[in-house]
Amino acid sequence: MPERLLVIGGDPGGMAAASQARRRRPDLEIVALEKGRWTSYSACGIPYVVGGTVSGLDQLIARSPPVFRDQFRIDARTEHEAMAIDLDARTVEVRDHAHQRTYRLGFDILHIGTGALPRRPDIPGMNLPFVRGVQTLEDADHLLQMVKAGGMEEVVVVGGGYIGLEMAEAFVMRGGHVTVVTNSPEVMATLDPDMGAMVSEGMRGERIEVRCGEAVIGFEDGIVHTEKGDLPADLVVLGLGVEPNSKLAAEAGVATGVRNAIAVDRRQRTPVDGVWAAGDCCESFHRIADRQVYVALGTVANKQGRVAGVNIGGGYATFPGVVGTAITKLCSLEVGRTGLTEREALAAGFQYEVVKVESTTRAGYYPGAAPITTKLLAEKRSGRLLGAQIVGREGAAKRIDVLATALTAGMTVEDITALDLSYAPPFSPVWDPVLIAARKAAERIEASR
């Protein structure tokens, strides 16, 4: 009998591991369970299908079960849900939803990639049909049907995180009047409030109503009740963040850590022999804060899944951790962040200097030159870069990758000023905004020594 790798979860955390393991271990039997109807899909693309930029949901599917079967010899079973894990018997109880039957499947190696669950606070009316989440392709399909049926004039997005903002853009593109309500002081609470305020302001410029510091207290048909009044709504889209979907693992006795995410080491091993995990269900190590954190991002899930698969396949790979990089776009507004915000730097015990510079994305005289604000945090005395945030227009946000690279390399702001970054008028001013910000930060560090 060949050894069996059983994978729970049919998206990157699970399937990147399954595919890598297959490449290295042709002898393994690999079975993957996915409770939904699709495997290897891009949830990240959902806002762009709902908004109409991408023409259909099928474009978001990278690999279907027949592709896994024919090209990878992976038995990917959709609408098959893992209901319970028995670590002593090394079996999983599986519910086959299509055929209404339950069976047990043994495993030699188990890999868990169950992803995240959207937060659903206990608010009256949360389950009404006009209140929708946006997590799976099923959700996306439902929203698309609603868009096609028409009448989505008043759309309320609850939550000011990147998913809420991307969905706000989607409904603006569909011609809706969109209101974003968040109980945070500004949208994008993963930025410092001063940078978040720029995003709130930018959204208002895109004709989106933004109501910050306002909690939603209930839903009734066609109405959103907030603590400051009522809003009419044909549709409510929830973007309230996610929690690790780790209950199945935890109930089986797999240890969990920060925010109940599955505890893993750098090779994606859980503390249980032969049990691995990757993606939104598990922890990550933060290289700047130097501690375990919970980050739910596709970039991380793909990398962790790959690392787990290499190791399961007998190779050696580690996931060195995250530096906290994320990027998003809202209409013509672009946002990027990496490393620590001021609040996070304080919590991690750093003392820092901070600079914020205004510049342009292209040479000032070149058509399309747009504003960009770059904020840097550098450690006092050493000058080591601790974090960066960018808010601007087209061409702004991807500059965050230079700063993420600098963070990963442990560079000081002085080191960054010496980087040989590219320049031509259509792409940047002769002093790129990153270099201007680094130079200012280096001067500030020098002055404070």
Ligand X SMILES: Cc1cc2nc3c(=O)[nH]c(=O)nc-3n(C[C@H](O)[C@H](O)[C@H](O)COP(=O)(O)OP(=O)(O)OC[C@H]3O[C@@H](n4cnc5c(N)ncnc54)[C@H](O)[C@@H]3O)c2cc1C
**What does the binding site for ligand X look like in residue numbers (CB under 6 A)?**
8-14, 33-36, 43-44, 46-47, 81-82, 113-116, 134-135, 163, 245, 248, 279-280, 296-299, 301
If the CB atoms of residues 317 and 419 are measured against ligand X, the closer one turns out to be 317
112 versus 355: smaller Cβ distance to ligand X: 112
C-alpha to C-alpha distance for 303 and 281, rounded to whole angstroms:
14
Closer residue to ligand X, CB minimum distance, 115 or 433: 115
Smallest separation, CB 78 to ligand X (Å):
9
To the nearest whole angstrom, how small is the minimum distance from the Cβ of residue 381 to ligand X?
A: 34
Tell me how far, at minimum, the Cβ of 10 lies from ligand X, in Å.
Answer: 5
Contact 379, 351 (CB under 8 A): yes
Choice between 182 and 226, CB closer to ligand X: 182
Residue 339 or 383: the one with the smaller Cβ distance to ligand X is 339
Q: Please, what is the minimum distance in Å from the beta carbon of residue 135 to ligand X?
A: 5
CA distances from 197 to 129, 190, 201, 343, 391 (A): 32, 12, 6, 16, 10
Alpha-carbon gap, residue 406 to 400, rounded angstroms: 10
Q: Using the minimum distance from each CB to ligand X, give the nearer residue, 298 or 315.
A: 298
Rounded to a whole number of angstroms, the minimum distance from the CB of residue 203 to ligand X is 18
Report the candidate in 282, 278, 280 with the shortest Cα–Cα distance to residue 263.
282
Active-site residue flag, 281: no
Q: How far is 161 from 158, CA to CA, in rounded Å?
A: 9
Q: How far apart are CA 48 and CA 21, in angstroms?
A: 32
Catalytic, out of 44, 212, 282, 331: 44
Q: Which is nearer to ligand X, 32 or 376 (CB)?
A: 32
Residue type, 250: A
Give the 3-state secondary structure of 242-301: EEECCHHHHHHCCCECHHHCECCCCCCECCCCCEEECCCCECEEECCCCEEECCCCHHHH
Q: C-beta of 222: minimal distance to ligand X in Å?
A: 25
Closest approach, Cβ 11 to ligand X, in A, equals: 3
Q: How far is the CB of 422 from ligand X (least distance, A)?
A: 25
* Helices 298-312 and 12-24: angle between axes, nearest 10 degrees: 30
**Which candidate, 306, 261, 265, places its Cα nearest to that of 280?**
261
Amino acid identity, position 44: C
Using the structure block, give the residue that is written with the tokens 């592709």.
67
Q: Which is nearer to ligand X, 249 or 357 (CB)?
A: 249
Nearer to ligand X among residue 86 and residue 446 (C-beta) = 86
- Indicate which residues carry an active-site annotation: 44
